Structure 1
């Protein structure tokens, strides 16, 4: 009876503290976006190439990549034009084709939430590193493709709140790759913004790429349904579990296209995603920052060969969230705690929950060293 009472108290404490933290509003329940890309039904029914196309739900990223590499440039372009939402979001499709397909999808959408994604990115290098069999080799691209000045959008799914991934740098030639996984309140509409820049995936990725230098590429990946505000979604792991599946397949798709294993940077609730994905996620390093927990008691419990790093500054409100997991509420121990076993990242001059990637901070310098494979 006493143990049961302690459990109730812990759950009440966790819920109360999380609901009142940093002025966040109560969360609205979200339905995780799962399954194959939009447009899959039309893709499955299309025999334009005289054969069945690979099933987006059952075909592995490696099999998808082999299929596309076996097509002519004209056949690839046919699929880009007929099914841009599938080609642009199907893990394993060659990167350059995904850029081209997503540029088409963004041009076709009339949703004002996504107009900012068509603006040219200062660090994007459209058209760089085109590989054999792409339209670039065949003598040019269609108007509005990545080569025409659009950002390097690696995924764009307009369903629900929208999901997006953007690349800074050249994935086809990068020796070192990083992926940024964001936390709550991130979707296609908040993917980048002028306020709180380093709390957005695009802002974090752009800052990291600016510090890793030539020969690197950074992916801002907002490819899962995030919690809105702080409520049941943020305090439990259901959205993180769905996100872990999507993150794992995304990383497998990069591997299938010959991209080096990435260092994965996981912010806030994104670290819960990374914790649940760790045992099957292809990564050299897992770096968690402002983490409420990884749903593991220790690094060993993650069952990963990746090096695990953790950062938390003293002004981060996440420090007020109880590090417990009771009856599915909460995400477990603080990864920066001495008993967890993660390597510590200096973060004394970061400010608040979204200051870890701010230029000039020790944390950003440490992140860049990890991304370049230099940190020990």
Structure 2
């Protein structure tokens, strides 16, 4: 009974501490957008090409890529003009078409879903011609209205890594909002992992290099759950509450796994356990986990791992452009 009380107390502390900088309390769980995107019905009903268009809900990215490979330039442009919401979010579609379809949402926007709090992915650098690709997976309280910081981190990483590297700022999943159980459970991370896997499959179908994933805070839970099903070259976690795995082997990935944690990061006060669905498991920077640990002594706080001049950003850039293995 004493052990049970200890574990339960730890789980409660996890709930509170993981949300330690997340803002106001959240009494209800976040809802994840479900069902087809707006415009899907019109897309599926479009018979102007005398061929069936791929179902955005069920078609694989490789099937989408094969479909677009068989179109003329004029046909591609008509689909962008008539169905921007679908084309702009269709993993496997050519990058330049997705940019055009999402032009009203911003520059080099790879995906834009306005439902709920909103989902967005934006590219820093030349994705179509990149030798190296990275994806930043953010933690809690990130959506369309609070995306600037994630986009800034992508820009800083891309500049540090160089012109042959493109970086995707991926707010492509519903993140936890405020302080609540969403932060301490894997529900939103599981949904996010599915979307992250599909993103990486889309990059592969478009003929782009295997990406390096840079996963911050709750985003590292997403990356941990997605690890076995992505073709990522590297998975880098920072300020991580855990990856829902006991060690690197449990992740089931061939990617090189890296981890960083500042001694000044409040995440260090989070108990690294998983019990009754609460908590996210082992500390990725612990010796027994098996990740390559990066220096982070000069990182001043939880949200500063991408700050220019830090040892972490320097290491991240070396990983992103393939210089650090």
Report the aligned-residue RMSD: 1.4
Pairs within 5 Å for 1:1-376: 1-18=1-18, 21-22=20-21, 24-27=23-26, 28-103=28-103, 106=104, 117-118=105-106, 151-192=107-148, 200-376=149-325
2:13, 2:270 within 8 Å by CA — same for their partners in 1?
no
* Separation in structure 1 between the aligned mates of residue 35 and residue 194 of structure 2, nearest angstrom: 10
1:37, 1:90 within 8 Å by CA — same for their partners in 2?
no
* Separation in structure 2 between the aligned mates of residue 72 and residue 102 of structure 1, nearest angstrom: 20
2:130, 2:165 within 8 Å by CA — same for their partners in 1?
yes
2:258, 2:291 within 8 Å by CA — same for their partners in 1?
yes
Q: How many residues align?
A: 324
1:18, 1:231 within 8 Å by CA — same for their partners in 2?
no
Query: 1:375 offset after TM fit, Å?
Result: 0.9
TM-score w.r.t. the length of structure 2 is: 0.96
Gaps in structure 2 of 5+ consecutive residues: none
* Separation in structure 1 between the aligned mates of residue 38 and residue 92 of structure 2, nearest angstrom: 16
2:16, 2:179 within 8 Å by CA — same for their partners in 1?
no
Encode CA deviations 1:207-236: one digit per residue, 9 max, x unaligned. Answer: 000101121111111100000022111110
**Greater mean deviation of Cα atoms: 37-46 or 326-335:** 37-46
TM-score w.r.t. the length of structure 1 is: 0.83
* Separation in structure 1 between the aligned mates of residue 160 and residue 51 of structure 2, nearest angstrom: 46
1:33, 1:224 within 8 Å by CA — same for their partners in 2?
no
Encode CA deviations 1:96-132: one digit per residue, 9 max, x unaligned. Answer: 00000011xx2xxxxxxxxxx53xxxxxxxxxxxxxx
* Separation in structure 2 between the aligned mates of residue 203 and residue 261 of structure 1, nearest angstrom: 22
Encode CA deviations 1:9-58: one digit per residue, 9 max, x unaligned. Answer: 32233234445x24732234201124543321221122121222111111
* Separation in structure 1 between the aligned mates of residue 237 and residue 24 of structure 2, nearest angstrom: 24
Gaps in structure 1 of 5+ consecutive residues: 107-116, 119-150, 193-199
* Separation in structure 2 between the aligned mates of residue 273 and residue 12 of structure 1, nearest angstrom: 21
Encode CA deviations 1:172-200: one digit per residue, 9 max, x unaligned. Answer: 211111110111000011110xxxxxxx2
| SS of corresponding position for 1:91 | coil
2:151, 2:169 within 8 Å by CA — same for their partners in 1?
yes
